[in-house]
Chains A and B, each alone.
Chain A
Amino acid sequence: MPHPQLTANGELKHLLTIEGLPKALIHSILDTAKGFLGVNTRDVKKVPLLRGKSVFNLFFENSTRTRTTFEIAATRLSADVVNLNINTSSAAKGESLLDTIDNLVAMHADMFVVRHASSGAPFLIADHVDRTRGPDVHVINAGDGRHAHPTQGLLDMYTIRHFKQDFTQLRVAIVGDVLHSRVARSDIHALTTLGVPELRVIGPLTLLPSGLEQMGCQVYTDMKNGLKDVDVIIMLRLQNERMRGALLPSAQEYFKHYGLTQEKLALAKPDAIVMHPGPMNRGVEIESAVADGPQAVILEQVTFGIAVRMAVMSMLAEVR
């Protein structure tokens, strides 16, 4: 069966998940993003590729940061952007998800950027527009439940490739609340596809899902062993708002064991990079001295994120 986000020719028509994306396609997205990086530093920060196209940001779950980065990417490609905060509109009045989509398609939307608390919602929308509108409407998953956040995964891969070049020589550690993290899942699929030989996941057992070994990860419950000699550290945000039940004694206790301090960072390779998808909880998962230190590449991730989203949008819109 063909992958739901690819055309019969293997081109990207929607971006729903990194799982199942061919390695060459991931590299092609990163190569295209590299080209777009320059657009963000020139006088006229705009290119006309998506001129006349309408991009609808559909955020069923709040996220000012991610929404803004998609908005910037779309406007730098000259698209018109409509932001819909569905929490406070139609859904509250009882409209179904697909009725909302049909209404927006009737307004001639060309692309939907979807954030939803339920895993799979962007797949449902993509499948629906494929059946009702054919290949002209594209869907980008901007985060669905605990499932996937593919553009964050891709920008993380861009960042790692930028600083470390070769994925096949790396030891990478993902640290923290993997259980609730769609970023972690997208990163794990991307890193294993790109051939990272040693992928570690570090966290308390209450915040680690089962099945990580089957996904190609080595599981560590302590930072001391987990961070030893790694090249890349991906810190995850402690998702307080997603925390149900007593998974942790306290944020202070968590910081003591799993917060990234300079002392713990010293266990990694001296040229290791520290990443974080943001927003950061300083003093909970990461110490300020590390977040602001020379090994942190957190703000570079933000810059690369715009170029990666421009690449994805322009690759999707080219398919018809």
Chain B
Amino acid sequence: MQQEISKACPDAEQALVRIALSLGEQAEKDGLYRTLIGIHRGGAWAAERLHDKLVASYPQLFSEKIGYLSSAYHRDDYGHNVQRRALSAIVAGKTELPFEVTGANVVLVDDVLYTGRTIRAALNELFDYGRPANVELAVLVDRGGRELPIQADFIGGSIRLGARQAVLLSQNDRKLLSFSIREH
């Protein structure tokens, strides 16, 4: 499915609906029992929302349990980043995988797919806990600019941004998600 590439700020709630639809369709087709794992922090928020939607519609295809991954320990910018973002990611949230990872059909969920480095780090973290049967990737928005051979399986929307722009996810007190674009 070819996604429309836009320069406008993506709608996070619409992206959630699109991913839930395509994930649900795929699950009905292949019958695999999937477990969602969110990457802290934005991906964790998105995974929780997707989990609510999918478990309600397909209780036999999506696990009641949800996992969380921190990419902090495996980040490749540790010691290379003047803003020290690598260690500050430790504070954002801990890895919690309250199920057997070995043999699981895992869907990693993140908010923004950019260079692919966070996903690489999260995969390393995941494999410290076991050997999943397979791993898929769902992202709310793909902003291009990949530096590693990583692609998403389920995409909520696509956007092209300048190198000095960032797209940030936030969550309100009703757990609704929204994106904003910042210049830095």
Contacts and interface: CB of A to CB of B under 8 A. Distances in A.
Interface of A: 11, 31-32, 34-36, 38-39, 42-44, 46-49, 314-315, 317-318, 320
Contacts of B86: 318
B12 interface: no
A159 to B, nearest CB: 19
A315 B88 CA distance: 10
A317 B79 contact: yes
Given A47-B73, A48-B74, A318-B84, A36 B90 contact: yes
Nearest to A43: B129
Given A42-B128, A43-B129, A35 B84 contact: no
A210 B91 CA distance: 40
Contacts of A38: 94-96
B58 interface: no
B84 A48 contact: no
A42 B73 CA distance: 13
Nearest to A46: B128
Contacts of B84: 11, 318
Given A44-B129, A47-B73, A48-B73, A314 B95 contact: no
Contacts of A48: 73-74, 124
Given A44-B128, A47-B73, A35 B78 contact: no
B87 interface: yes
Interface string B45-82: 00000000000000000000000001011100011000
Contact of A47 (B74, B79, B130): B74
B94 A315 contact: no
B73 A39 contact: yes
30 contacts: A11-B84, A31-B91, A32-B87, A32-B90, A32-B91, A35-B72, A35-B90, A35-B91, A35-B94, A38-B94, A42-B95, A42-B128, A43-B129, A43-B130, A44-B128, A46-B128, A47-B73, A47-B74, A47-B128, A48-B74, A48-B124, A49-B73, A49-B78, A314-B78, A315-B87, A317-B79, A318-B84, A318-B86, A318-B87, A320-B79
A36 B70 CA distance: 11
Contacts of B94: 35, 38
Contacts of A11: 84
A318 B78 contact: yes
Contacts of A35: 70, 72, 90-91, 94
Interface string B89-102: 01100111000000
Contacts of A44: 128-129
Given A35-B94, A320-B79, A314 B128 contact: no
Contacts of A39: 73
